[in-house]
């Protein structure tokens, strides 16, 4: 992993996903220090922010007004210039070198949240690597996450009303991720990916 993290050039994204037993704040901060973009949900930014201030990771209640200060503290502690915080139905924010941009989540009936964060992350990766406008990136990422969350088994089918218009967006995101990532991976990593 250290060799992959040492590669210069491409943006490095880190989607935190604090899940026991992989919830070691010290290790998270070490890995975050090697990322260009850090993505957390509102609970995770609270836990890590609390750990940085007090040495103890405590949960962050949704809508915590101190989230901006926590992003700033996390950015300062890790030297990570961009921190994205997802807030479920409230949308997402992106701390980018001291400025904060927010986007609301589209209103949908949530059926299954599994995969919604991954769809959001795919939109974030493609948009930021393209150099797109931050507001547009967040809106697109929120839209992708909402589409996945609004379908059972996190597989939106093209024939479902309202999904056909974004099928091309999903395919575009998937293709761009493959085209961007594959040439930057060591040959052993490409070999492992193609075996799955």
Q: What is the pLDDT of residues 71-88, one digit of tens each?
A: 777 888 888 999 999 988
Tell me, yes or no, whether 151 lies in a domain: yes
Q: Are residues 84 and 125 in the same domain?
A: no
Tell me, yes or no, whether 193 lies in a domain: no
Q: What are the two backbone dihedrals, phi and then psi, of residue 23, each rounded to the nearest 5 degrees?
A: -120, 40
| Alpha-carbon gap, residue 133 to 66, rounded angstroms | 26
Tell me, yes or no, whether 191 lies in a domain: no
92-96/13-15 β-pairing:
unpaired
pLDDT band at 167 (very low <50, low <70, confident <90, very high): low
Q: Are residues 54 and 97 in the same domain?
A: yes
Tell me, yes or no, whether 66 lies in a domain: yes
Q: What is the percent of the chain where pLDDT is above 70?
A: 66
Q: Are residues 90 and 6 in the same domain?
A: yes
Domain count, the chain: 2
**Do you find a cis peptide bond into 21, omega within 30 degrees of 0?**
yes
CATH number at residue 10: 3.40.1190.20
Helices 25-32 and 42-54 pack at an angle, to 10 degrees, of 100
Q: What is the pLDDT of residues 86-140, one digit of tens each?
A: 988 899 999 888 888 899 999 989 888 888 888 899 889 988 988 889 999 999 8
CB neighbourhood size of 41 (10 A): 22
For residue 24, CA distances in Å to 54, 64, 143 come to 15, 22, 31
Tell me, yes or no, whether 120 lies in a domain: yes
Q: Are residues 97 and 138 in the same domain?
A: no
Residues of the domain holding 25: 1-103
């Amino acid at each position: 992993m250290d060799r992959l993290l040492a590669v210069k050039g491409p943006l490095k994204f880190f989607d935190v996903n604090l899940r026991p037993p992989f919830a070691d704040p010290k290790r998270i901060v070490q890995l975050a220090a090697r990322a260009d973009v850090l993505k957390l949900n509102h609970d995770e930014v609270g836990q890590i922010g609390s750990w940085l201030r007090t040495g103890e990771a405590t949960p962050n209640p949704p809508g915590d007004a101190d989230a901006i200060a926590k992003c700033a503290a996390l950015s300062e502690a890790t030297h990570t210039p961009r921190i994205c915080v997802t807030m479920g139905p409230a949308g997402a924010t992106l701390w980018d070198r001291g400025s904060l941009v927010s986007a609301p989540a589209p209103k949908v009936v949530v059926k299954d949240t599994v995969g919604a964060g991954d769809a959001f992350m795919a939109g974030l990766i493609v948009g930021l690597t393209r150099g797109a406008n931050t507001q547009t990136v967040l809106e697109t990422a929120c839209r992708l996450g909402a589409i996945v969350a609004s379908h059972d088994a996190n597989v939106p089918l093209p024939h479902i009303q309202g999904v056909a218009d974004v099928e091309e967006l999903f395919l575009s995101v998937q293709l761009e991720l493959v085209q961007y990532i594959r040439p930057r991976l060591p040959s052993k990593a490409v070999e492992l990916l193609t075996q799955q």
